[in-house]
Amino acid sequence: MSEETPDQNSSQNPDEKVQTAQITGTVQIKPQGGKLPDDDGSTLPEDDAPEKKSGRKALVIGIVALLAVIALLFYWHSTYYEDTDDAQVDGDLYQVSARVGGQVIKVYVEDNQQVTAGQPLAEIDPKDYQVALDQAQANLASAEADYEQASVNVPITNVNVSSNVNTASSTVLGADAGLAQSRKQVEAAEARVEQAKANATKAQDDVDRYTPLVQRDVISKQQYDAAVAAAVAAKSQVLEAQADVIGAQDGVRQAQQKLQQSQIQSRASVQNAGDQRKAEQARANAAAAAVRQQQAKLEQAQLNLSYTHILAPAAGIVNKKSVVVGANLSPGQDLLTIIPLDNLWVTANFKETQLEKMHSGQAVTIEVDALGGRKYDGTVTQIGGATGSKLSLFPPENATGNYVKVVQRLPVRIDFTNLQEQNKDHLLRPGYSVTPKVSVK
């Protein structure tokens, strides 16, 4: 018998010695001894291969599940916010211009210099405006003097008018009394005429009685002559009395005329009294209006003088300075621009598909690119009334039929809620690109 070698029992068919194992896409040849080589070249027991395969599958499944959970969380979180990178810081740019003309004698600022509200920027030669102010003050003083005189004349005119009315009334009463007196004088003159006629009749009767007597020498010629003389005198007295009546009647007519004249003057005085008062009051009112007019001119002169000192309307940074010493300015000429540092907001152009749940009052987190992602707090203030394309200089015309639907953007204004505290260093500038994130839930 031949002696068996140790390798004879362990010898197998070469096909049995080679086993393929599909592990992570590699083909491994199972060596003799029942061990598989490990990844580092070492060999593992045959029972460890399935465990390694199942562990790797669990790891892959776990990673995929984690990624799915992260994606779901990201989607869920994204439904709470709307953001856009089409946004920038906005602010009112103050164009400083000259309000009066003149030559610049001083300039106090330079480009990119930070200024505060009310800080002097430049100064215009004030000499011409000082002269105009002095003249306005003199004109005002003259107008005030005229007004004072007109004001004093008003009560004086009232007194004079009242006195004239009273005098005219008294004149009427006096003329009426004179007329009555003239009429009494006519009556007295007529009575004297009657008395004179009676005396003349008696004297004539005496003459008639004495005539036969003197012819018979019953009475003396002297008595007869005396009776004749008395009769002649009585007739003369009648004529005199009648003349007195005519004179008294003329006096009555004069008294009537005087009364009529007095009445006319009285009525005119009464009628003109109100007009004279109104006229004098109108002169006083005109003088008062002149005073107000001169006061307005004085105030305008004071304003023009103050406008020679050009002050900063707001705090900010000076840009586009064009004013220099010696320049002759005209009213309205631009001198420089002040970029604000405090009165700022954000204009964000959101897509129309992002505005469904957006409204005023929602909180916003604003991330500024230029400041390394520095964040500011804000709130939605206004949503624009039209899209940017509609407000453009040449809006698109879609009536030609060549229409392609494009998602439009609307400007949304976002105001900073705590800018003074968060921007104490004044690093925020108009025009900076920002990324606002609006909380819509």
6 belongs to a structural domain? no
195: confidence class by pLDDT, cuts 50, 70, 90: confident
Pair (162, 282) in one structural domain: yes
**Whether residue 168 sits in one domain with residue 153:** yes
Phi, psi of 33 (to 5 degrees): 110, -10
**Residue that is last in its domain, among 307, 337, 361:** 307
Nearest to 93 by CA among 265, 340, 424: 340
Of the candidates 307, 341, 358, which is a domain's last residue? 307
Whether residue 173 sits in one domain with residue 66: no
**Same domain, residue pair 389 and 333:** yes
Q: Which residue in the block uniquely carries the two structure tokens 């009494």?
A: 184
CA angle 293, 295, 299 (to 5 degrees): 120
pLDDT at residue 48 tops 90: no
Residues 297 and 341 in one domain: no
What's the pLDDT tens digit per position in 289-341? 999 999 999 999 999 999 999 999 999 999 999 999 999 999 999 999 999 98
- Mean pLDDT taken over the chain: 81
| 416 in Cβ contact with 376 (< 8 Å) | yes
Instruction: Let me know whether 144 and 159 are in one domain.
Output: yes
Q: 5 in a domain, yes or no?
A: no
Residue 312 lies in a domain: no
State pLDDT tens for residues 397-413.
766 666 677 888 999 99
Task: Tell me which residue of 187, 199, 185, 182 sits closest to 239, measured CA to CA.
Answer: 199
| pLDDT value for 153 | 79
> Does residue 1 lie within any of the structural domains?
no
Q: Tell me how far apart the alpha carbons of residues 189 and 179 are, in angstroms, rounded to a whole number.
A: 15
Q: Which of 8-22, 67-81, 253-267, 409-423 has the lowest mean pLDDT?
A: 8-22
Domain shared by 183 and 204, yes or no: yes
Specify whether 219 is located in the same domain as 348: no
On whether residue 7 sits in a domain, the answer given is no
pLDDT surpassing 50 at residue 224: yes
In a domain, 383, yes or no: yes
pLDDT per residue as tens digits for the range 370-398: 999 899 999 999 998 888 888 887 777 76
Stretch 23-40: mean pLDDT: 45
Report pLDDT for 47: 53
Residue 49 has pLDDT above 70, yes or no: no
Domain end: 57, 78, 99, which one? 78
- Whether residue 89 sits in one domain with residue 141: no
Q: What is the C-alpha radius of gyration for the chain, rounded to an integer number of angstroms?
A: 64
How does residue 42 score in pLDDT terms, banded at 50, 70 and 90?
very low
Domain encompassing residue 30? 16-78
CATH number at residue 251: 1.10.287
The answer to the question of residue 321 being in a domain is yes
Residues 263-303: pLDDT tens digits? 777 777 776 776 677 777 888 889 899 999 999 999 999 99
In a 10 Å sphere around its CB, with 0-12 CB exposed, 13-18 middle and 19+ buried, how is residue 69 labelled?
exposed
Side chain identity at residue 382, one-letter code? Q
| Higher per-residue confidence, 329 vs 5 | 329
For residues 423-434, give the mean pLDDT: 91
| Residues contacting 157, CB < 8 A, separation 6+ | 276, 277, 280
Residue 96 is assigned to a structural domain of this protein: yes
168 and 302 share a domain?
Answer: yes
Check residues 33 and 252 and name the one with the higher pLDDT.
252
Burial class (CB in 10 A: 0-12, 13-18, 19+), 331: exposed
- Per the model's pLDDT, the better-predicted residue between 253 and 120 turns out to be 120
Are residues 135 and 66 part of one domain? no
Q: Are residues 370 and 412 in the same domain?
A: yes
Percent of the chain beyond pLDDT 90? Answer: 37
Q: What is the pLDDT of residue 400?
A: 65
How many domains, the chain?
3
What CATH number is associated with residue 387? Answer: 2.40.30.170
